Chains A and B, each alone.
Chain A
Amino acid sequence: MDGVHDLGGMHGFGPVPIEVDEPLFHEPWEGRVWAMWSAIGATTIDRFRFTIEQMPPARYLASSYYERWLWAIERLAAEQGLLTTRDRPCLLGRGGSGRATPYESATP
């Protein structure tokens, strides 16, 4: 898909944000998200990337790296039935385009 993630050669981005000796995770929640990736193992790395690519463009550009992982893990966990319909309303975080995700509109 022709998404905004396809950044190679794009103009407009400034100096590379170089942080010397950065920690592995800047916030504890990032580490939790990174480790939770293994919970949705019943899919492919390609589907994980594709899920991130389908973020609304403005939201993608406004999200940090692990926020994009969190987005994908939430949706793939719901897709794989790891979360119940009782859990799903908690995926309705507002922000970005406000467009409904497939999971919001599929909730009975």
Chain B
Amino acid sequence: MTDLTPAQRAELLEHQLHEHGHVDPQKIDAAIAEAESASGNYPSPALGARVVARAWSNSEFRQRLLSNPVDTLNEYIPQGVPIAVLENTPEVHHVIVCTLCSCYPSGLLGNPPTWYKSFEYRSRVVREPRVVLAEFGLELHPDLSLRVHDSTAEQRYLVLPLRPAETEGWEEEQLAALVTRNSMIGTGRPIDPRLHT
């Protein structure tokens, strides 16, 4: 018997599960389409960016987000697992990992990027985070405290990045466009508008 490829195994498994009434291929099609649409209402970096932009603009929302993140994020999309928000400051920079598998705030940000799930990231970012962040183009000042958080339990983490300078008075939608996915994991910063004229 020749080895089946993953694609062949997946097709066979779906066929067999469908035959016994355990999956509906059309529902699978719909779930994939919805996930790939990356709309701002579905868990995705776009949704996370909306939350961050609002936290930057609205100090009452920011306080609620930090002190009661589950209830606050439930206002956007129901969160199935606990989630906490780690606030970057001028003194402290947070970065998230799951060394044991791939735990990620998917209820808010959607599926994690491949690099987050890679053996390279999982093994190295707890040991040598500054070197790893430099690979992402993020150079941190040596005086900036770096905190790596390993998502070992069911609680997931969102990094609330620092608001870029010279964005006073910006509308939430404009601010959201500066929020990158990596800045919400800690491997990047939001886009600096001064560098993009």
B123 interface neighbour in A10, A36, A92, Cβ under 8 Å: A10
Contact call B119/A32, Cβ cutoff below 8 A: no
- Contacting B at CB under 8 A, from A50-104, are 52, 61, 64-67, 70, 73-74, 77, 82-84, 87, 90, 92-95
Q: Are A17 and B120 also in contact (CB < 8 A) when A6-B99, A36-B14 are?
A: yes
The interface centre, meaning the residue of A18, A27, A64, A82 with most chain B CB atoms within 10 A of its CB, is A18
- Contacting B at CB under 8 A, from A1-60, are 5-19, 22-29, 31-36, 38-39, 45, 49, 52
B7 interface neighbour in A7, A27, A74, A94, Cβ under 8 Å: A27
B-side interface residues, number (CB < 8 Å): 47
Q: Are A5 and B12 also in contact (CB < 8 A) when A10-B123, A82-B17, A83-B20 are?
A: no
The verdict on B73 contacting chain A, using a C-beta distance below 8 Å, is no
Q: Are A36 and B23 also in contact (CB < 8 A) when A16-B120, A73-B13 are?
A: yes
Interface of B is mostly: helix
Chain A contact residues, CB within 8 Å of chain B:
5-19, 22-29, 31-36, 38-39, 45, 49, 52, 61, 64-67, 70, 73-74, 77, 82-84, 87, 90, 92-95
